[in-house]
Amino acid sequence: MKDSIFQRHELKYLVTDWQRAYLEQVLAERMVPDVHGESTVCNLYYDTPDFRLVRRSLEKPVYKEKLRLRSYGPALEDSSVFLELKKKYKGIVYKRRISLPQRSAMDYLAGRAPLPMDCQIGREIDYFRQFYRELSPAVYLCYDRCAYFSKDDPNLRITFDKNIRWRTEDCILAAQPGGQQLLAPGQSLLEIKAADAMPLWLVAALNSGAIRQVSFSKYGRAYETLLQTNLQESRGIHCA
């Protein structure tokens, strides 16, 4: 079991296919694909039965947190997955992550077994699970990601996520990716992740491409869509 900690700013932008192609041309001179390169990222977001965590997040508090399990592509029982506790305080993201076999992760999250190794991050996740009782997989969310990091600054990372899909059934990482689309056709979510200030060349590229920052949470947007769907269905039943 491996663990890691990240502390950084994360800026998000919704871009068109043209804006993405333009920016990728700029990135080609300064950045290279990361270890996962092009991949399908699969996530299970854990929440309480009343969606307490995501509701709190959408209120945009000074501090918020969430727990998710991530794999790159569908995961077998022995595949390595990432158990992540993500916190955000005053615009800075703090991510604690443990890598372990999917079987061990699912046994732990279901309360059938402890984590395979005792560590600080594991104890933080234990406390989180004890504080937010009755946590279970609330939403499965996947997307096709292209990830890059800077040749000069490994702490500067840029990702493009397309075909962001979500569902509330079949919430297991072993299942095939799929679900309801979250973005409009031709859109990608650009994320810039940096420990320090954004380099001037990147600021200039964003300005030249008319790329503007947005507030966007994948899990939050999926939850809002779920609420809208439930509301429409209830109105349809009421009016029948």
Give the span between the Cα atoms of 18 and 149, in whole angstroms. 21
Give the span between the Cα atoms of 109 and 205, in whole angstroms. 42
Q: Structural domain of residue 135, as residue ranges?
A: 4-239
Instruction: Tell me the pTM.
Output: 0.92
Q: Two tokens at 90?
A: 């005053």
Cα dist. 166→59, 60, 139 in Å? 21, 22, 7
CATH classification at residue 233: 3.20.100.30
DSSP letter (8 states) at residue 73: S
Going through the chain in order, the beta strands assigned E by DSSP cover: 2-16, 31-47, 63-72, 80-89, 92-101, 136-150, 157-167, 180-181, 187-194, 213-214
* Residue 13 bridge partners (DSSP): 190, 213
Give the span between the Cα atoms of 176 and 145, in whole angstroms. 16
Mode of pairing for the β-strands spanning 180-181 and 187-194: unpaired
Give the span between the Cα atoms of 178 and 131, in whole angstroms. 31
Instruction: Compute the Cα dihedral for 189, 190, 195, 200 and give only its sign.
Output: negative
Q: What is the pLDDT of residue 230?
A: 86
Cα dist. 45→9, 115, 138, 151, 213 in Å? 21, 18, 6, 32, 24
Give the span between the Cα atoms of 85 and 141, in whole angstroms. 16
Q: What is the pLDDT along the chain (240 residues), one digit of tens a residue?
A: 666 777 889 999 999 999 999 999 999 999 999 877 789 999 999 999 999 999 999 999 999 999 999 999 999 999 999 999 999 998 899 999 999 999 999 999 999 999 988 899 999 999 999 999 899 999 999 999 999 999 999 889 999 999 999 999 999 999 999 999 999 999 999 999 998 889 999 999 999 999 999 999 999 999 999 999 888 887 775 444
Per-residue pLDDT tens for 177-206? 999 999 999 999 999 999 888 999 999 999
Q: Domains in the chain: how many in total? A: 1
